[in-house]
Amino acid sequence: MKITLIILMSIFLVSCNNSKKELYKFDPNILDEREINLSDIADNILYIPLDNSILMSGVNINYNPVFANNRIYLCDQNQGILVFSRSGKFLRKIGKKGRGPGEYVYGSPFTVDPESGTVYLDDSNSKIKVYSRSGNFLRSFDLSEYQGSIDVIDFFRNKIFVSFNLQFGDNFKFEWVFLDTLGNIINKKDRSIPIFKSNYLVGGGTFIHDGKLNFWNNFTDTVITFSTDFTIKPNFLMSQGDFRLPKQYVDDPIKRLPEYISFEQILETNRFLIIRYNFYKGKNSLVLIDKEKNKSFLSYWSFDDYRGLTNDLDGGTRFQPRGYLFENGKEYLVEIKDAIKIKTYVNSDEFKNAKSINPEKKKTFKEIADNLKEIDNPVIIMVRLK
């Protein structure tokens, strides 16, 4: 009996200690500037060249792919939402760009129901348009009555999550809402932040990990998690300081950009938090934070050069994760790389001198690059995590 009691007390104390574990607080000023190689976190890399049946328009591509119902969805601002097979074959456009009935102006942001393939996209004037898996227009619903411009849209547990830009609108009601597929509000967060105006036209984002939806915003302090029953818990915190974007107009906003941190994307894996942010101290930064060891790996990224995580899996281009996928019990990080960047890199001295833990994979990467043309569509890169 005494032994049983001791065991129960021990379990209770451990449980109490775990429940009191402090939330991680992200502070860009205390990060360790050290590199991490792909082989430290991953064991395989896969390339999916997107076919050229419809040529995409470079800088106008949204580089955050959506994986759903065994398809890859991308938004090209000039052409609309494009659907590819998992092997890279072009399948169809979703809807049609334009200003006529059932057409859309921008097509971004958008989200996809992974079961039905139904696409929900934010068009201009806070209007969400709905398209079938085959691309036919189904319906639309208008959220402008809530006085907010839509910032983020995502699909979670058969519901549509929508957040609003906090710095726009003089009297908007909600920070975020959950809608059913007909546009009816079923859950909401009343606005708690006083109305403000800002020079910086940034918002927030979502990411899904472990079957839960997470939401963040550049002007708030807590990254929140929605569980499968839609209960809300804090995931981690953003530190406050002069480096956070101000909630008021500032003089010379472009000149003062390096004073502030602008979060561009947050991802989460079983091991890491991955945070990309712009501008701060004149650098675009990519941080991996080991959640268990609270250890950070800081590197940098740019669309104009080849920064990112060193790819020693096959000696290929540096890796800049832009998406996360959990599939068949495996985790993947995803990037989209322009064909011209791969072609340029493979002809450089950096590639010739690049180390690879598997020389045969380096040869395979060169073969993939040699089969590309500079004007080809981008290549999706999938890295399988250990």
| Torsion angle of C-alpha atoms 207, 32, 334, 276, degrees rounded to 10 | 50
Predicted confidence (pLDDT) at residue 261 exceeds the cutoff of 50: yes
pLDDT of residue 126: 82
Q: What are phi and psi of 82, to 5 degrees?
A: -115, 140
Helix 339-346 with 359-370: angle, nearest 10 deg: 120
Residue count of the chain, please give it: 386
Q: Running DSSP on this structure, what letter comes out for residue 366?
A: H
What pLDDT was estimated at residue 171?
72
Q: What is the pLDDT of residues 158-178, one digit of tens each?
A: 999 999 988 876 677 899 999
Sign of CA dihedral 102, 108, 109, 112: positive
| Whether the predicted pLDDT of 9 surpasses 50 | no
Q: State yes or no: pLDDT of 190 exceeds 70.
A: yes
CA dist 135 and 118 (Å) reads: 8
Fold for the domain defined by 25-385: Neuraminidase (2.120.10)
Mind listing the pLDDT tens digit for each residue in 19-69?
456 899 999 999 887 889 999 999 999 999 999 999 887 666 777 889 998
Contact 246, 252 (CB under 8 A): no
Contact 230, 157 (CB under 8 A): yes
Q: Which of 213, 176, 205 has its CA nearest to residue 193?
A: 176
Q: pLDDT class for 234, splitting at 50, 70, 90? A: very high
Burial class (CB in 10 A: 0-12, 13-18, 19+), 360: exposed
**pLDDT in the model for residue 300:** 80
Q: Which residues contact 157 (CB under 8 A, 6 or more apart)?
A: 213, 228, 230
Lowest mean pLDDT among 9-13, 184-188, 299-303, 375-379: 9-13
DSSP characters over 223-292: EEEE-TT--EEEEEEEPPSTTBPPSS--SSTTTTGGGSBEEEEEEE-SSEEEEEEE-GGG--EEEEEETT
**Measured distance CA(62)–CA(76) in Å, rounded:** 6
CA angle at residue 277 from 274 to 281, to 5 degrees? 130
Q: Has residue 339 got a pLDDT over 60?
A: yes
DSSP 3-state of 350: helix
Q: Do 33 and 365 contact (CB within 8 A), yes or no?
A: no
Element (H, E) at 129: strand 127-131
Q: What is the DSSP letter of 310?
A: B
Instruction: Please give the single-letter amino acid code of residue 111.
Output: T
- Give residue-wise pLDDT tens across range 68-115: 989 999 998 888 999 999 999 999 999 988 888 888 988 888 999 999
Tokens in use for 251?
A: 């003089």
CB neighbour burial string for 62-91, b if at least 16 within 10 angstroms, e if fewer: bbbbbbbeebbbbbbbebbbbbbeeebebb
**DSSP structural state of residue 300:** E
With a cut of 50, say whether residue 201 has pLDDT above it: yes
Q: Give the pLDDT mean for 127-145.
A: 92
Paired with 93 in beta bridges are 82
Domain borders along the chain are 25-385
Helix (H, G, I), strand (E, B) or coil at 202: coil
pLDDT at 51: 94
Residue 57 identity: S
Taking all residues of the chain, what is their mean pLDDT, rounded to a whole number?
89
